[in-house]
């Protein structure tokens, strides 16, 4: 609880996982916190001490095949009602849907009926984190709350290979899709907060200026606070301040938490793709989906099976992931309303 002279503010941290792989989804995650004045000094800095071993740059703390820490944070947050739906330590499928802002039908909407199991079958899934790991994450959340940082919401948008490919066909590369998903989450969590927010998002590609690339925020009045390669920030009346910060997951606790949860979600969904094909071809390697020799062998090893099952290429491998480059956008220098 805030002290007698403290007021609550609301802070959002957002980041992406899986921007550049060949296979599997891109996941964009955001975390909403209610923060006291004292907590504001805590949440905007990198974790220290023992906490830094469990909360920080997800690239340093988790990896392919080792995402139990990310699951522990996701379960601890969902147990506390931070997800879209209630979660009581059920199986991974229940956890993934508690974190998603979209329901099952919306997530499966792009899928041909005969291909749905590639991405959405929960067969063979198990929880990864021990009860002890989840308990430690809950204790960390208790400690943060005692210091003035209370997590209210966590959401992960899933952009599957088909959605990524369709976006590319519509003229939106992966960087724009990443940005637009972040905007969507900021607006949704702003509604939950009921007050203007301060959002810190991981830098999107090589953007310095974001104005003309905005999607969900394009119809909102905004002014430029600063624009640069390290940090770009904007003020949206009725929404709040949104900043895009380089290496944000290493310097902001909400972004760190979002990145760890998002890493788990992406790994869990990529594992479904691997299990789907290993069901008939058990000799296939455990592919991460990234640009590496193992993923290349997995793609080649599934080619005939995918053809026999009539799996559309658009539903399997992303196009343009290696070639796509950040678009150069020039935002207006003065506040203006951009046409939706």
Domain spans in the chain, listed from the N-terminal domain onward: 9-271
- What is the pTM for the complete model shown? 0.92
Rounded to whole angstroms, the Cα distance separating 298 from 242 reads 40
Rounded to whole angstroms, the Cα distance separating 334 from 340 reads 18
Q: How far is CA 106 from the centre of its chain?
A: 17
Rounded to whole angstroms, the Cα distance separating 267 from 259 reads 12
- Residues 28-45, buried b or exposed e (16+ Cβ, 10 A)? bbbbbbbbbeebbebbbe
Render pLDDT for 70-97 as a digit per residue (tens, 0 to 9).
999 999 999 999 999 999 999 999 999 9
Q: Residue 6's pLDDT is what?
A: 54
CATH number of 9-271: 3.30.420
Rounded to whole angstroms, the Cα distance separating 68 from 54 reads 11
Residues composing the chain: 340
Phi/psi of residue 152, nearest 5 degrees:
-105, -25
With H, G, I as helix, E, B as strand and everything else as coil, classify residue 158: strand
Q: Which residue do the tokens 């740059």 mark? A: 57
Instruction: Return the DSSP state at 126.
Output: -
Q: How far is CA 165 from the centre of its chain?
A: 18
Rounded to whole angstroms, the Cα distance separating 65 from 286 reads 9
Render pLDDT for 5-58 as a digit per residue (tens, 0 to 9).
458 999 999 999 999 999 999 999 999 999 999 999 999 999 999 999 999 888
């Amino acid at each position: 609880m805030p002290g007698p002279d403290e007021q609550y503010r609301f802070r959002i941290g957002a980041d992406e996982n899986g921007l550049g792989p060949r296979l599997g989804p891109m996941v964009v995650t955001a975390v909403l916190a209610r923060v006291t004045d004292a907590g504001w000094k805590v949440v905007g800095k990198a974790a220290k001490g023992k906490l830094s071993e469990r909360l920080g740059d997800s690239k340093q703390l988790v990896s392919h095949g080792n995402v139990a820490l990310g699951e522990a944070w996701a379960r601890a947050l969902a147990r506390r009602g931070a997800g879209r739906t209630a979660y009581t330590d059920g199986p991974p499928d229940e956890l993934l849907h508690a974190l998603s802002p979209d329901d099952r039908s919306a997530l499966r909407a792009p899928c041909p009926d005969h291909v749905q199991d590639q991405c959405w079958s929960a067969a063979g899934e198990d929880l990864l984190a021990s009860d002890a790991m989840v308990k430690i994450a809950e204790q960390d959340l208790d400690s943060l709350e005692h210091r003035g940082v209370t997590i209210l919401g966590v959401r992960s948008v899933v952009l599957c290979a088909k959605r990524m490919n369709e976006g590319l066909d519509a003229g939106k590369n992966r960087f724009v899709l990443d940005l637009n998903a972040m905007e969507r989450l900021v607006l949704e969590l702003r509604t939950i907060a009921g007050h203007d927010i301060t959002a810190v998002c991981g830098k999107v590609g090589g953007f310095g200026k974001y104005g003309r690339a905005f999607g969900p925020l394009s119809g909102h009045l905004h002014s430029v606070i600063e624009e640069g390669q390290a940090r770009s920030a904007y003020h949206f009346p009725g929404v709040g301040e949104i900043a895009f910060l380089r290496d944000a997951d290493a310097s902001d606790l909400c972004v760190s938490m979002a990145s760890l949860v998002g890493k788990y979600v992406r790994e869990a969904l990529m594992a479904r793709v691997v299990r789907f094909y290993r069901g008939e071809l058990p000799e296939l390697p455990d592919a991460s989906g990234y640009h590496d020799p193992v993923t290349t062998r997995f793609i080649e090893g599934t080619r005939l099976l995918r053809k026999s099952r009539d799996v559309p290429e658009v539903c399997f491998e992303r196009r343009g992931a290696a070639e796509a480059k950040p678009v150069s956008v020039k935002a207006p220098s003065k506040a203006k309303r951009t046409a939706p």
